[in-house]
Amino acid sequence: AQKVTQAQTEISVVEKEDVTLDCVYETRDTTYYLFWYKQPPSGELVFLIRRNSFDEQNEISGRYSWNFQKSTSSFNFTITASQVVDSAVYFCALNEFSSNTGKLIFGQGTTLQVKP
Amino acid sequence: EAGVAQSPRYKIIEKRQSVAFWCNPISGHATLYWYQQILGQGPKLLIQFQNNGVVDDSQLPKDRFSAERLKGVDSTLKIQPAKLEDSAVYLCASSLVREGDNEQFFGPGTRLTVL
């Protein structure tokens, strides 16, 4: 069955520290998509990145980087030199190609608090 | 470009009452989603529309929840009658097409409290 696990419920760091948010997924599909979304206190989920199952290249976007490893079914997210504005709830999500829909299966979320 | 609009932002009702939420997706987006987010959990898909047709409503509690998107644009989600466990944030999202690799754009949500 499809599932996304974010084992870290809450993380607290001091500004400028690096932090990694873990995401482990389960799926029987060979074609799937993985996402990260950010949910600030305002409530709207903001898209950060999408990865398809055939692209294991790591990606870097400014202070953000993502490490996708199919061998361990993980899609981890690292924030370098964290800032207070990074404080939010972060969700990892999975879409299975076989569903033939846009249905996203979300993890429980990790609350990140960055202290000044 | 205007984002996904939702109203109301907050709603408090008593159990067994009815409530309706409204969503207006981004212009031109054919696919519309309703998610339920219970406190401390990730969003869970309730229903997905492609234009005015239902693509997936497998997790919609149909005995009390209903949704429509009559003209293929805005949508309404209704709960009748509400239960305590329906307290949650109801998120509406839209995407250009229905394929799973498409980015979904989310609205601010409606926070429902059932007393």
Could you tell me which chain B residue has the CA closest to the CA of A97? B100
A56 vs B86, which has greater pLDDT? B86
Q: Which single residue is written with the structure tokens 């492609």?
A: B50
Q: Please provide the average confidence, as pLDDT, over all residues in chain B.
A: 94
Q: What is the pLDDT of residues B82-115, one digit of tens each?
A: 999 999 999 999 998 767 678 899 999 999 999 9
A109 to chain B, any CB pair closer than 8 A? The answer is: yes
Alpha helices (H) along A1-116: none
Those residues whose C-beta lies under 8 Å from the C-beta of residue B114, and which sit 6 or more positions away, are: B13, B14, B15, B82, B83, B84, B85, B86, B87
User: What confidence score (pLDDT) does residue A58 get?
Assistant: 86
Phi, psi of B91 (to 5 degrees): -105, 135
Give me the phi and psi of B67, to 5 degrees please: -145, 150
What per-residue confidence (pLDDT) applies to B1? 67
Cβ distance B44 to A103 less than 8 Å, yes or no, reads no
Mean pLDDT of B49-65: 93
Contact list in A for residue B102 (CB cut-off 8 A) is: 102
Cβ <8 Å between A47 and B45: no
- When pLDDT is averaged across residues B12-20 and rounded to a whole number, the result is 97
